[in-house]
Structure 1
Amino acid sequence: MSDDPGRMQTRSPLPEALSTSALREAGLTRRDISNAVRQGRLIRLRLGRYAPEHTPEIFVDAARWGGRVDCISLLAHLGVFVHTHDGPHVQIDRHATRLPPRPARVRCHWRTSSAPATSLAVEVEEALAQAVLCQPARHAIATLDSAWHLGVVDVDGINEVFRRLPRTFQVLRTLLDPRSEAGVETLVRLILRTLGHRAELQVVIEGVGRVDLLVDGWLIVECDSRQFHSGWESHVRDRRRDAAALAQGYCTVRLLAVDVLSRPDAVRLQLQDILDRGPAVPRSGGSGRRPRIDARPRRPTWL
């Protein structure tokens, strides 16, 4: 689905609150601070706490509610796949008192955070662990795959996530695969697994290119989204790829990301029907030789 393979990226620092004392130590007087707030260069969060201008609204709101951005809200902000974003998720210290009112749509996670006191968000590993608890297992696996693939966490970070989770969740660790370039690819891979079929990820086929999934050596599954398949040029490229694959004995099915996300049962039945029928031409037929598949590393080199 994505045009760019996974690679480690530098994690951007998360927003932090600025205290009155820190601003004074930086040389600002109380009048300077008041002027900066009035001019919009500082955002007043609560008594004695400020944020720089351009701080995203979700972080400002969470601080004003007495907490930090957490769980799927933080991950969505970082570009990590989450299936459904059902309102702001906010971490609030378990023993916090005299909290300001907050909208009913806010999801509060009451626990002590390991994040610094000045941070407006929890640590990424903490957010991922909470996201596993907040989502169905398949969606949680897709979130973890996405964070790992994007380089938001590395293998040590993934291990830290599972150290924070109850033992009953450890089985999910064996199902992760950071080669998934999009959350829907993970969801399709898990569907295929329940159907009892082997799916290889990001396989490069000579004359075709890199495909999202190759199932049982003959069925190419591509997960198409509007982001990468909206223009005529992308449609032309895809049709040429499909024709080249068919000439080598492969069948291609293109799944819509929106269907994978909103109609998974229908997608499952579609894949089951295709796989039960089998290839129209056995892969051993035709030229009698297996296609050449590039022997690329099965995992990103940064793992």
Structure 2
Amino acid sequence: MDHARRLERWIDDRGGLAHATDVREAGFGRRAVDGAGARDLVRRLRRVWLYTRKAEAEELAAVRVGGRVACISAARRAGLWVPDAPGAHVAVPPNASRLESSGLILHWSIGPAPESSRTVVESLVNMLFHVAGCQPRAEALSVWESALNRGLTTVEVLRAVTWRSASARALVDAAVILSDSGLETFVVHRLRPLGLRMTQQAVLDGRPVDLLIGERLVVQIDGKHHLDPVQRRRDIAGDARLVLRGYTVLRFDYAQILFAWPTVLDAIVTAVAQGRHRPA
């Protein structure tokens, strides 16, 4: 196999895109690069990148504007859960040239982790940083939780990062709540100043409920596992049985509790004001 074909295969093995410095350090000289270019086996992009027909369009688009694949585009490549949204997300430095970026969602910001100029997909920490600033909080938290559940990072690691972003710090706090004290404890702590009589894991209708206020007001808290359709149907059936037995059931999901607490609190105190925590 001649040098041009060897270079093409070497770049193919790396996804079809390689930095010129990596090519040179791998032992391919000018003759191999020029020969591969003359035969249209390898093409050059922004002078310092070489690519083959195997290169992915999303990576080429990122390199073309001097950036790297970022945010939910990088999360999707890492096998994380991502919301179904169009467009390729690309992170570029704040001082990057304003090149044609049609079809791209640009992030003009620098994440907390330094990146090599030779990488085309941003690191996990920077990906989470951009997700936090780009996506609605509930969706962003789901991406972060996906990274934690897959073992790609830990809460301890995320807490130690200097995020420089209020949205990212809020997601760290939420991840800590979900992994450590739990949503149920979080809710009880927030309600305790009201002086209500609360019972955690009270058994009603043969099954424990998350929180019983007084004697008749049930607060159910949906964590991530409640997204499962089978579990969801079981929850609905259980709520219906409790209502038929004279209980009032308020059910909230994790996003409401973590990011819309005032609305959750308002629903609970309104139910108490209506006497729904007392027997009829």
Q: TM-score if structure 2 supplies the norm length?
A: 0.53
User: What is the alpha-carbon distance in structure 1 between the residues aligned to residue 73 and residue 45 of structure 2?
Assistant: 19
Distance 1:96 1:245, change over 3 A: same
Instruction: Report SS of the residue matched to 1:126.
Output: helix
Cα offset for 1:122?
A: 1.9
Paired residue type of 2:62: A
Partner of 2:65: 65
Please give the residue correspondences for 1:96-245 in structure 2 after superposition, counting only pairs within 5 Å.
Answer: 96-97=96-97, 100-103=99-102, 106-111=105-110, 114-134=114-134, 144-145=144-145, 147-161=147-161, 163-165=162-164, 173-177=172-176, 179=178, 208=207, 214=211, 218-222=218-222, 228-229=228-229, 237-238=234-235, 241-242=238-239
User: What is the alpha-carbon distance in structure 1 between the residues aligned to residue 242 and residue 127 of structure 2?
Assistant: 41
Contact 1:259 1:267 in 2 (8 A): yes
Instruction: Report SS of the residue matched to 1:179.
Output: helix
Cα offset for 1:158?
A: 0.9
Contact 2:17 2:51 in 1 (8 A): yes
Larger Rg: 2
Contact 1:223 1:255 in 2 (8 A): no
Q: Unaligned stretches of 5+ in structure 1?
A: 1-13, 283-303
Instruction: Report SS of the residue matched to 2:127.
Output: helix
User: What is the alpha-carbon distance in structure 1 between the residues aligned to residue 252 and residue 39 of structure 2?
Assistant: 51
User: What is the alpha-carbon distance in structure 2 between the residues aligned to residue 21 and residue 251 of structure 1?
Assistant: 66
Paired residue type of 2:59: F
Paired residue type of 2:66: G
User: What is the alpha-carbon distance in structure 1 between the residues aligned to residue 265 and residue 150 of structure 2?
Assistant: 27
User: What is the alpha-carbon distance in structure 2 between the residues aligned to residue 69 and residue 139 of structure 1?
Assistant: 19
Cα offset for 1:160?
A: 4.1
User: What is the alpha-carbon distance in structure 2 between the residues aligned to residue 204 and residue 135 of structure 1?
Assistant: 37
Paired residue type of 1:159: R
User: What is the alpha-carbon distance in structure 2 between the residues aligned to residue 36 and residue 234 of structure 1?
Assistant: 58
Paired residue type of 2:159: N
Identity of aligned residues (%): 19
Partner of 1:49: 50
Cα offset for 1:37?
A: 7.2
- If each structure's helix is expressed as a fraction of its own residues, which one has the higher value? 2
Once the two structures are superposed, residues 178-218 of structure 1 have per-residue CA deviations (whole angstroms, 9 ceiling, x without a partner) of 637xxxx98xx89x969x899xxxx8989658x8x657693
Once the two structures are superposed, residues 148-191 of structure 1 have per-residue CA deviations (whole angstroms, 9 ceiling, x without a partner) of 44433213431243x131689757654443637xxxx98xx89x
Instruction: Report SS of the residue matched to 2:61.
Output: helix
Distance 1:277 1:64, change over 3 A: farther
Partner of 1:92: 92
Partner of 1:287: none
Cα offset for 1:114?
A: 1.1
User: What is the alpha-carbon distance in structure 2 between the residues aligned to residue 169 and residue 224 of structure 1?
Assistant: 19
Contact 2:138 2:255 in 1 (8 A): no
User: What is the alpha-carbon distance in structure 1 between the residues aligned to residue 116 and residue 238 of structure 2?
Assistant: 50
User: What is the alpha-carbon distance in structure 2 between the residues aligned to residue 276 and residue 151 of structure 1?
Assistant: 45
Distance 1:36 1:115, change over 3 A: farther
User: What is the alpha-carbon distance in structure 2 between the residues aligned to residue 105 and residue 150 of structure 1?
Assistant: 28
Distance 1:245 1:167, change over 3 A: closer
Contact 1:37 1:43 in 2 (8 A): yes
Cα offset for 1:60?
A: 3.3
Q: Unaligned stretches of 5+ in structure 2?
A: 1-13
> Relative contact order, CA 8 A, sep 6+: which one is greater?
1
Instruction: Report SS of the residue matched to 2:128.
Output: helix
User: What is the alpha-carbon distance in structure 2 between the residues aligned to residue 16 and residue 264 of structure 1?
Assistant: 48
Cα offset for 1:68?
A: 0.8
Paired residue type of 2:178: R
Distance 1:275 1:102, change over 3 A: farther
User: What is the alpha-carbon distance in structure 1 between the residues aligned to residue 152 and residue 130 of structure 2?
Assistant: 16
User: What is the alpha-carbon distance in structure 2 between the residues aligned to residue 169 and residue 259 of structure 1?
Assistant: 18
Distance 1:237 1:132, change over 3 A: closer
Cα offset for 1:124?
A: 1.7
User: What is the alpha-carbon distance in structure 1 between the residues aligned to residue 67 and residue 275 of structure 2?
Assistant: 54
